[in-house]
């Protein structure tokens, strides 16, 4: 499958420094920053610096170094935020991909959600 990447998406603009962000952590291949509309007390997004639309695109085309760095960055952000289950109260990681997920920003991002009890993963529609 050929993935089409929109270079004008908001996270591409953040990566190019065209709009500000509340950075939590930077690595060679990733940026972690606070979500502008947090849904939990801690709501941090981790994105690769590379131009990947979603998780499928990333695991198909990213290098092993990018994939390793991304995973380690997610874990490091959780640890440094004090929410890893070994020392804190835990977290939830979510990524949206494709229309059913209602992905808004077409650049891969993992949401790290923490800081309160989040209840069940999904609520059934009424």
Among 25, 67, 93, 105, binds ligand AMP (CB under 6 A): 105
111 a catalytic residue = no
Instruction: Report, in Å, the least distance between residue 103 CB and ligand AMP.
Output: 4
Spatial distance between the Cα atoms of 19 and 117, rounded to a whole number of angstroms: 32
C-alpha pair distances (Å), 4 with each of 7, 49, 59: 10, 16, 15
Site membership for ligand AMP, residue 27 (CB under 6 A): no
**Contact map string, positions 52 to 91, toward ligand AMP, x by CB under 6 A:** ----------------------------------------
Query: How many residues at the interface with ligand AMP, by CB under 6 A?
Result: 11
Helix, strand and coil content of the chain, in percent to the nearest 5, comes to 25, 20, 55
């Amino acid at each position: 499958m050929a993935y089409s990447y929109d270079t004008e998406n908001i996270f591409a603009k953040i990566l190019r420094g065209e709009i500000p962000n509340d950075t939590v952590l930077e690595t060679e291949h990733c940026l972690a920053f606070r979500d502008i509309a947090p849904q939990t007390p801690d709501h941090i997004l981790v994105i690769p610096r590379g131009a990947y639309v979603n998780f499928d695109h990333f695991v198909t085309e990213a290098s092993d170094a990018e994939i390793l760095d991304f995973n380690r960055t997610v874990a490091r952000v959780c640890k440094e935020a004090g929410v890893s289950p070994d020392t804190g109260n835990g977290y939830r990681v979510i990524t949206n991909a494709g229309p059913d997920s209602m992905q808004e920003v077409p650049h891969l991002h993992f949401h790290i959600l923490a800081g309160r009890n989040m209840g069940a993963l999904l609520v059934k529609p009424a």
